[in-house]
Structure 1
Amino acid sequence: MASSNPIVGFHFSVIFELLPQFSIDTKFQSVGGLKGTLEMESVKEGGQNRFTHQLPIRSGYQDLVLKRGLTSDMSGVSMWCLNAIENFNFSPANLVVSLLNENGNPVKAWYVSHAIPLSIDYGDFNAEENKIVIESIALKYNFFKEIPIPSF
């Protein structure tokens, strides 16, 4: 049965339509950038000086940023990013970002289309701190859309 309670954002999954994919490739600490915006154009109406009309031109999407703790495990996503950055070899990938309930079932999901790597960043190394090294991957994508999840 569907719930009208707000959904928590700490239990989620990211699944790439990408091969090879290893177990580490679904484990991320955070996901950011599922944001759609409209670009607007200002139009001044002749004889009307009190305001300017704002007309929509096109939609745009923010970069998707995935973060996770760096491990020694092999990662297909990292290899995909490095192949694009080092060899200029781009293979666009689609992915699904899902918010999960307490049973691990999706309650909301978004399909991200035609993502390509923009950057891969490894957090700072500091001998004076005992912190986990964070790997950040930024992706540019064409669009995202919500995937309907049937409620039971």
Structure 2
Amino acid sequence: MLALASPAVMPFTTVHFVLAIDGLASTSFSKCTGLAGEVSVEEYAEGGENRFSHRMPSRASFPNLVLSQGAGPTQELWDWWGEYLTSGLVAPRDGTVTLMSTADGELTPVRVWGFSRGWPAKLTGPDLDAQSSAVAIESIEIAHHGLALKKVGA
């Protein structure tokens, strides 16, 4: 017999993200997109089989991570991006995006996504408008070679 009600499980709130990149200081962000992956499908039409085509997995692909934050005093991400402008090369780095949420009244890590061989593909400074009192938002877009959900605390 099935239970009529399951215990209530509250989802995490998406209030705070921390970007940690090997060799750079961790930085807090307020918005993150691109935590996704996709496997392409290749179809093969078998001769004599007209009812369907065989569908097989092909290559995996991952969109760029895009993280936004209020502009602050640190400029390490700008320096990392600037490596390419000064030398023509940029050092790929591994990193993590950690979702922080309130558990028992404390802000703690609840989900960690790891990416490999990331590099800054785009950096956007804030829109400046003297007639607005909005927060100056900047963003970084990181291209990478793969994304995986890690165990919290590992």
TM-score tier (shorter): 0.7 to 0.9
- Distance in 2 (alpha carbons) for counterparts of 1:135 and 1:80: 15
Q: Which residue of 1 aligns with 2:23?
A: 18
Listed as ranges, the matches of 1:137-152 within 5 Å are 137-149=140-152
Q: Which runs of 4+ in 1 moved over 6 A?
A: none
CA-based RMSD of the aligned residues comes to 2.1
CA apart distance, 1:116: 0.6
User: Are positions 1:64 and 2:65 aligned together?
Assistant: yes
Q: Deviations over 1:113-141 (max 9, x none)?
A: 11111111124334554433321211111
Structure 2 runs not aligned, ≥5 long: 1-7
- Distance in 1 (alpha carbons) for counterparts of 2:129 and 2:99: 34
Question: 103, 115, 128: which one pairs with 1:125?
Answer: 128
Larger deviation: 111-120 or 101-110?
Answer: 101-110
Structure 1 length-normalised TM:
0.81
Amino acid at match of 1:68: Q
Partner secondary structure for residue 90 of structure 2: coil
- Distance in 2 (alpha carbons) for counterparts of 1:45 and 1:8: 48
The question of whether the paired residues in 2 share the 8 Å contact of 1:98 and 1:107 is answered with: yes
Partner secondary structure for residue 107 of structure 2: coil
The structure with the largest alpha-carbon Rg is 2
Structure 1 runs not aligned, ≥5 long: none
Q: Which residue of 2 aligns with 1:97?
A: 97
Q: Which residue of 1 aligns with 2:30?
A: 29
The number of residues matched between the two structures is 143
